[in-house]
């Protein structure tokens, strides 16, 4: 564990808590993409299959349980409890255009052609594009609530911090995982234009409003 | 480096 990875995990944790607070306080899921949350649930389920078979640390297990629990709770809030406020017309990204290529790529490019390894690789590739339905929805509605902007900033920062973690681990431990790094770079790049909007607007107290 | 401790990250 190193400071970059710890900050990354805390940023990820903060993003999920911000999202839950937004939904619970406003009792609304307006502006939130249910499809992205379904993709995140798929990512966590595929990546944490070893939750019960390999114990790494209390921290690791607690975070995995928290991430899986909260993402499914989020889906429950979007599609059941606050269903009336879910904006399905704008949440229209075709996720099959993500899942099929990512699934195929995981079969072709992986560290080891073994079931668990391919599923882990699938979760890494899927996570890098899982935010697309959410960003697509914001571009369609043309705006994002400030709290949703904070959620996306924390979520984007988490993988950017993981990139720093991988740089540190490369020099400190000689650890290097090309698949995780390439997917992490793609994932972080997808947030770049949002980061620009966030820093130039939200930091100055304005709302994000994209040219629709 | 063994494969499984590659997966010590979240």
- So what's the pLDDT on residue B7? 85
The verdict on a CB contact (< 8 Å) between A117 and B3 is yes
The verdict on a CB contact (< 8 Å) between A60 and B10 is yes
- pLDDT (tens digit, 9 = 90+) per residue, A10-44? 999 999 999 999 999 999 999 999 999 999 999 99
- Per-window interface: A 112-141 vs B, CB < 8 A: 112, 117, 120
For residues A196-208, give the mean pLDDT.
Answer: 90
Residue-range domain boundaries for chain A: 3-201
- So what's the pLDDT on residue A135? 96
The verdict on a CB contact (< 8 Å) between A112 and B3 is yes
Point out the residue among A50, A63, A162 whose CB comes nearest to the CB of B7.
Answer: A50
- So what's the pLDDT on residue A208? 85
Q: Which of A113, A114, A9, A24 is nearest to A77 (CA)?
A: A24
Residue A122: both structure tokens together: 């699938």
Closest CA of chain B from A151, distance in Å: 19
pLDDT at A76 over 80: yes
Q: Which of A149, A163, A185, A200 is nearest to A15 (CA)?
A: A149
Best of B5, B6, B9 to substitute, by most chain A Cβ atoms within 10 angstroms, is B9
- So what's the pLDDT on residue A172? 96
Rounded alpha-carbon distances, angstroms, from residue A172 to A165, A175, A176, A190, B3 = 10, 8, 11, 28, 18
Report the chain B residue with the minimal C-alpha distance to residue A57. Answer: B8
A208 dihedral zone (left: phi>0; alpha: psi -120 to 50; beta)? beta
Give CA–CA dist A12/A17, Å, rounded: 9
- So what's the pLDDT on residue B5? 52
- Per-window interface: A 83-112 vs B, CB < 8 A: 111-112
Task: For helices A34-47 and A96-108, give the axis angle rounded to 10 degrees.
Answer: 20
- So what's the pLDDT on residue B2? 47
Do the beta carbons of residue A105 and residue A1 sit within 8 Å? no
């Amino acid at each position: 564990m190193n400071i970059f990875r710890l900050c990354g995990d805390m940023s990820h944790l903060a993003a999920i808590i911000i999202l839950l607070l937004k939904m619970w306080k406003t009792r609304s899921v307006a502006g939130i993409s249910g499809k992205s949350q379904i993709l995140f649930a798929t990512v966590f389920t595929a990546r944490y299959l070893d939750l019960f078979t390999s114990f790494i640390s209390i921290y690791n297990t607690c975070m995995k349980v928290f991430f899986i629990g909260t993402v499914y709770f989020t889906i429950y809030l979007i599609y059941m409890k606050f269903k009336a406020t879910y904006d399905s017309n704008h949440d229209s990204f075709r996720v099959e255009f993500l899942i099929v290529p990512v699934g195929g790529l995981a079969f072709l490019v992986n560290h080891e052609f073994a079931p668990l390894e391919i599923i882990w690789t699938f979760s890494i590739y899927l996570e890098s594009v899982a935010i697309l339905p959410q960003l697509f929805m914001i571009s369609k509605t043309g705006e994002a609530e400030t709290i949703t902007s904070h959620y996306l900033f924390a979520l984007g920062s988490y993988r950017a911090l993981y990139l720093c973690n991988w740089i540190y681990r490369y020099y400190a431990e000689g650890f290097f995982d090309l698949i995780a790094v390439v997917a992490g770079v793609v994932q972080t790049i997808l947030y770049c234009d949002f980061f620009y909007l966030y820093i130039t607007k939200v930091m100055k107290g304005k709302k994000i409003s994209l040219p629709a | 480096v063994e494969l499984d401790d590659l997966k010590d990250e979240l």
